[in-house]
Structure 1
């Protein structure tokens, strides 16, 4: 289980590095991970994403993670079990962002109620996932963690 002090240190490092923290949740159902599909209006299909949220001012990483999963899927996080990894990128308005990813346990895998996405899929971790290379690396790290 990830401790409050670990979460605080990750948030502090993001702040020191000048990055805005975002959180992503890996929800594993017997080797399948929950991925969300954005509403697509362009000619190219957007990659699938993990549920998550932008951390609001005054909110802890854990609070943001629980809120983001609840808001995007309706699922209730009961435990943050592992910090899996993170990556930095520039937001569309060119601000540095750090996306921190955590394996979580949820009270139940259904029902899923989407608020801002077109659909969801339970995708096998050992399959070819339609995600960005950064998310693919995070899921690879998670797979390695789960194997040990």
Structure 2
């Protein structure tokens, strides 16, 4: 597995003026990936997404990745199998955000406990994904 140096990613983000790092996970279980649906009434309510969230002060990208997957799904990452790249976006508050996404394998995918979403689904490479174009590219890279 060839993963990027997370210190170098953080340095580049700072040099590029990124105000908030985000981590995302393509959680793969037996060739299917996990999508989560945002709660109605929230920003982008009803949208499907990957487990993802903000890197907290004092955290590195991989620590945040493990924490976010556990917080949003109850799953524990067993293995990080690849880095799928990053994309930038402007947040609702106008901030410059960058999401870094990894492929991961959970220790036990049968016990999903949602805390910030109201539904989940497992999808395979042949299905259409109701997610943003940026996430579609990262999912394609995972299955690539």
Q: TM-score, normalised by structure 1?
A: 0.89
Mapped contact 1:47–1:132 kept (Cα < 8 A)? no
Give the equivalent residue in structure 1 for 2:117.
117
The alpha-carbon distance between structure 1 residues 22 and 45, as it changes in their structure 2 partners (threshold 3 A), is closer
Give the equivalent residue in structure 1 for 2:9.
10
Q: CA RMSD in A?
A: 1.7
Distance in 2 (CA, whole Å) between partners of 1:138 and 1:64 is 19
Q: Offset of 1:47 from its aligned partner?
A: 2.6
Instruction: Tell me, yes or no, if structure 1 residue 139 matches structure 2 residue 133.
Output: no
Instruction: Tell me, yes or no, if structure 1 residue 31 matches structure 2 residue 31.
Output: yes
Mapped contact 2:39–2:45 kept (Cα < 8 A)? no
Q: Offset of 1:127 from its aligned partner?
A: 0.8
Moved over 2 A (4+): 44-47
How many pairs were matched up? Answer: 142
* Higher helix content, 1 or 2: 1
Structure 2 matches for 1:1-148, cutoff 5 A? 1=1, 6-19=5-18, 20-41=20-41, 46-144=46-144
